[in-house]
């Protein structure tokens, strides 16, 4: 299809937290290189999820790349601690940043990878000035806040547009998509140009291992 590296990032928001270690081990064994970690503050998004102590525990049990998605206001107050707790990638939302350059640089200086995210309603043009400061752009494909929502179709065009800009200008930037991705739309999203694929409810459940293997095969095809 192309020579980009496609990566699966299962979102543990959809895991059974009473057996989180086992669920993570199944995604690791199934070949998921990343693990997506959704932090929600009840302010930027309506719900509250989990934070540093959980990340610290997860760090101890896996070598997967910990892909931390901060759905929180004033992320600059917390990025240092998330890096200390084991994040490998820290993604902040454009909508939460007063001085984007400053926060992106702050993350870079912590020695972790830098991600910048946009909500479905936010124009993709918002990220263009920062493409030389980030490793990844996360294009939200649902309104952030909950797992298990339906993919918003118009977000596909944002991914296509961004892939065009990145390739044309030669940036080394991954495109991550997050929300409502499942086996019916996965190939379409890869073809649009995304290469880091978050999947929550489609991966976790009775067959976490088998689901991971199945989706990873599609990504690696």
- Give the footprint of ligand DX5 on this chain (CB under 6 A): 11, 13-14, 36, 38, 69, 142, 144-149, 178-181, 198-202
Please tell me which residue in 41, 67, 88, 178 is annotated as part of the active site.
178
Q: Is 132 a catalytic residue?
A: no
Minimum CB separation of residue 120 from Zn ion in Å reads 13
Query: Pick from Zn ion, ligand DX5, none: which does 94 bind, CB < 5 to 8 A by kind?
Result: none
| Location of structure tokens 């995304």 | 194
**Out of ligand DX5, Zn ion, none, which partner does residue 47 contact, by CB within 5 to 8 A per kind?**
none
> How many angstroms separate the CA atoms of 36 and 172, rounded?
21
Among 23, 38, 88, 174, binds Zn ion (CB under 5 A): 38
Residue 29 CB, nearest distance to Zn ion (Å)? Answer: 22
Min dist. Cβ of residue 220 to ligand DX5 (A): 19
Burial environment of residue 194 by CB neighbours within 10 A (0 to 12, 13 to 18, 19 or more): buried
Question: How far from chain centre, in Å, is Cα 112?
Answer: 14
DSSP state string for 154-216: THHHHHHHHHHHHHHHT---EEEEESS--TTTHHHHHHHT--EEEESTTTSSTTHHHHHHHHH
Catalytic residues: 38, 178
């Amino acid at each position: 299809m192309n020579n980009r590296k496609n990566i699966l990032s299962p979102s543990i928001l959809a895991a059974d937290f009473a057996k989180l270690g086992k669920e993570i081990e199944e995604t690791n064994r199934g070949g998921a290189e990343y693990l997506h970690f959704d932090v929600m503050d009840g302010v930027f998004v309506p719900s509250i999820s989990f934070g540093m102590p959980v990340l610290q525990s997860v760090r101890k049990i896996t070598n997967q790349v910990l892909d931390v998605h901060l759905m929180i206001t004033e992320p600059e107050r917390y990025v240092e601690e998330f890096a200390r707790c084991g994040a490998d990638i820290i993604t902040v939302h454009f909508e939460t940043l007063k001085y984007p350059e400053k926060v992106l640089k702050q993350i870079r200086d912590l020695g972790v990878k830098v991600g910048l995210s946009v909500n479905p309603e936010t124009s993709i043009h918002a990220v263009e000035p920062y493409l030389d400061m980030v490793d990844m752009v996360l294009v939200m494909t649902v309104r952030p806040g909950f797992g298990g929502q339906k993919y918003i179709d118009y977000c596909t065009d944002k991914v296509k547009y961004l892939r065009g800009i990145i390739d044309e200008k030669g940036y080394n930037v991954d495109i991550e998509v997050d929300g409502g991705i499942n086996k019916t739309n996965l190939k379409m999203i890869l073809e649009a140009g995304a290469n880091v694929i978050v999947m929550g409810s489609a991966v976790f459940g009775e067959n976490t291992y088998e689901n991971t293997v199945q989706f990873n095969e599609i990504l690696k095809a």
